[in-house]
Structure 1
Amino acid sequence: MKTCAIVILNYNGREMLKRFLPSICQFSRYDIWVIDNASTDDSVAVLSQDFPELQLIQLSENFGYAGGYNWGLEQLKGNYDFYILVNSDVEVTRNWDLSLIDFLQKNKDYGAVQPKILSAQNRDSFDYAGAAGGFLDSLYYPYCRGRIWNVIEQDQGQYKDTIEVDWASGACFALRADEFHEVGGFDAHFFAHMEEIDLCLRLRRKGLKIGFTAQSTIYHLGGATLDRSSPRKLYLNIRNSLRMIYKNEGTLVFWWIFLVKAGMEFAAGLGYLITGKPEMFSAVFDGYWDFLKSRRLVEKIKFPESKPIKKGPVDLIFWHFMILRKKYFQDL
């Protein structure tokens, strides 16, 4: 069995592949695979002509982030000890992959680890997606060291450590291959967004930890698939977040969280209406409605001796950010 497969998911990412694959080819020590989600551009031709050394898995249709990785990694099952999943819009640096795998090899109680993620556009700033490690508040709202809501910190060496976090960013993280398959991979119903947090919760339910290490650094462009202001992304985030919470919480706790989140998110939806963005209000409504229609099909987490999920260090990130005006992680 080989040590690690670096796996990149692609969908109509011709320009991303041409821009970012050279750094991955230059600085990576492990096997590189590309899973193509039935692209309709000439991505596959670009891979064949410009990167013939890479190994390709072609899927029959676009299964999204979650389904695409599930189907592709199923073909690699049993061949590697570890996977590094990395977006197609990521630039890597020297020893980025060795550092991630070295962390997991030395820390047997960790199921996954992410690198320090900086912005490819503003290279002295953290990236929105993951930054220096992600956390969840009591309502399961995600935030990061280096990014809370829409405020992004500059990288001034304040997070040059190795720590345990709540979740690792889907932009780039390494994990144990057998654990990925044992917990069922990504929830394919998510299609895209929040699926890495859901996976991390299931790993943690098994008693595994999630890590961040600044020994590995990457640069992420972000928004290559959906812009953060996209109604489609808002819809997916809301629907998938509710599905994730429903799977992980008891009935009474879930409905308490549901009501609080609904009040906050529909208030935000009214704000969208007032400012002339009805499509964003529709995204909020559709996210809740689609979850309610399908919730009976969602299976609760059922691991033997399932471990409780601790969240923190903040109970309500909204309160600290909006009311107490704490914009940076070190102020929390």
Structure 2
Amino acid sequence: MKGFSIIIVTWNALEHLKRFLPSVSETDYPNFEIIIADNASDDGSKKWIRSNFPHVKIVSLDQNYGYCGGNNRAAPFASKEILLFLNNDVEVDKNWLYDINKAFDHESVAAVQPKMRAYQQKNRFEYAGAAGGYIDNYGFPFCRGRVFDTIEEDLGQYDSKVDLFWASGAALAIRSELFTDCGGFDVDFEFHMEEIDLCWRLQNQGYKIRYAPESIVYHLGGGSLPMDSPRKVYYNFRNSLFMLWKNYSTLSLFTRFPIRLILDTIAAWKALFEGKPKEWLAVAKAQFHFIKGLLKVHRKRKKLQKKRIANHDPSTMINLSIVWQYFIKGIDRFDDLNS
């Protein structure tokens, strides 16, 4: 069986650790370790961990490096072959690691996501990852079990083991050597989309992202930024543009990227007409800062394009516009997209 290094980034989240770390520690699996990447917390988190879970490793960081920076800095302290990045607000089933372990039996699989249900409604999928992530032609993310804000009940409809486009960063397992080789998470993203970018880079190099439905976790979610936060809107829009410019095939960069810019502009003006000026401003700032940082992003693209093995986009990119399907045609279930 493969070994897992479970890395949990935390910053002043002692209450989350008290609620969720016990289930992770009680995992029934013969080969795993837990590493806490502490982003300079001052709420007594480290003292509590040492007193209650002395077997847990603590990587003490000198400041708050966020999700990307915290995980990147903790990864070198891992001793197992699989890194498993887990949010500090996730409860896990006792046997959750077994199905993830099976998924890595295939050498082409680089990363794996478990089934993610909502902590507060445990019969429903969770927004951040549900039953695995995809994107459409224009880079809009959605999940099996969650399209935009419509979240389905888990009735076993997505229990097949399939290839994904992206695995949620709330519970993302990845081969340690691949994470290191590809440079880890892009710290310029700061918040949001960093896991989609990582998974896209891996696919461009010929690897697969897999779903492990027999592995179940329960995510509280919404802890870092509220769903309606203008700051969250800003990061989602800006980082989407970063990600697309870095990873699109050359053809898509010229044909699809301009359409994405138009769609973002429409979304901004829609928000303004709906009386949400802060959301309009967030999208405008996202586009401005994307243009401002374009030269740096393009340098990253040039390096990444040298590593890709095909000139086309990954086959797991869904060939449609999810915006059109959801807002115009009214399709809000993943299964119904096929029709």
Query: Same-fold call, TM > 0.5?
Result: yes
1:93-147 deviation per Cα after TM superposition (whole angstroms, max 9, x unaligned): 021123212321x111100110000000111100001100111100011111000
Separation of aligned partners in 2, 1:303 and 1:180: 18
Going from structure 1 to structure 2, the CA distance change for 1:83 and 1:262 (only over 3 Å counts) comes to same
Separation of aligned partners in 2, 1:220 and 1:312: 25
1:4 Cα deviation (Å)?
A: 1.9
Report the equivalent of 1:56: 58
Separation of aligned partners in 2, 1:228 and 1:306: 37
Report the equivalent of 1:23: 23
Report the equivalent of 1:8: 8
Report the equivalent of 1:167: 166
Amino acid at match of 1:302: Q
Amino acid at match of 2:89: D
1:185 Cα deviation (Å)?
A: 0.6
Structure 2 counterpart of 1:40, from 25, 39, 42: 42
Structure 2 residue 299 is the aligned partner of structure 1 residue 328? no
Report the equivalent of 1:123: 122
User: Is the partner of 1:74 in helix, strand or coil?
Assistant: helix
Structure 2 residue 271 is the aligned partner of structure 1 residue 272? yes
Structure 2 residue 90 is the aligned partner of structure 1 residue 87? no
CA contact under 8 A between 1:205 and 1:303: conserved in structure 2?
A: no
User: Is the partner of 2:243 in helix, strand or coil?
Assistant: helix
Amino acid at match of 2:280: F
Structure 1 residue ranges, 4+ long, deviating more than 6 angstroms after superposition: none
Report the equivalent of 1:287: 286
User: Is the partner of 1:162 in helix, strand or coil?
Assistant: coil
User: Where in structure 2 are the equivalents of 1:158-237 lying within 5 Å?
Assistant: 158-237=157-236
CA contact under 8 A between 1:137 and 1:311: conserved in structure 2?
A: no
Separation of aligned partners in 1, 2:244 and 2:256: 8
Separation of aligned partners in 2, 1:229 and 1:170: 20
User: C-alpha root-mean-square deviation of aligned residues, in Å?
Assistant: 1.7
Q: How many residues align?
A: 328
1:42 Cα deviation (Å)?
A: 2.5
User: Where in structure 2 are the equivalents of 1:80-159 lying within 5 Å?
Assistant: 80-104=80-104, 106-159=105-158
CA contact under 8 A between 1:38 and 1:59: conserved in structure 2?
A: yes
CA contact under 8 A between 1:114 and 1:168: conserved in structure 2?
A: yes
Separation of aligned partners in 2, 1:256 and 1:205: 19
Amino acid at match of 2:334: F
1:270 Cα deviation (Å)?
A: 2.2
Report the equivalent of 2:318: 313
1:260 Cα deviation (Å)?
A: 2.0
Amino acid at match of 1:232: R
**Between 44-53 and 64-73, the greater mean CA deviation after superposition:** 44-53
Separation of aligned partners in 1, 2:114 and 2:172: 7
Percent identity, please.
38
1:163 Cα deviation (Å)?
A: 0.8
What residue ranges of structure 1 are gaps of 5+ in the alignment? none
1:71 Cα deviation (Å)?
A: 1.2
Length-normalised TM-score, structure 2? 0.92
Going from structure 1 to structure 2, the CA distance change for 1:276 and 1:269 (only over 3 Å counts) comes to same
Separation of aligned partners in 2, 1:28 and 1:40: 31
What residue ranges of structure 2 are gaps of 5+ in the alignment? none
Going from structure 1 to structure 2, the CA distance change for 1:285 and 1:223 (only over 3 Å counts) comes to same
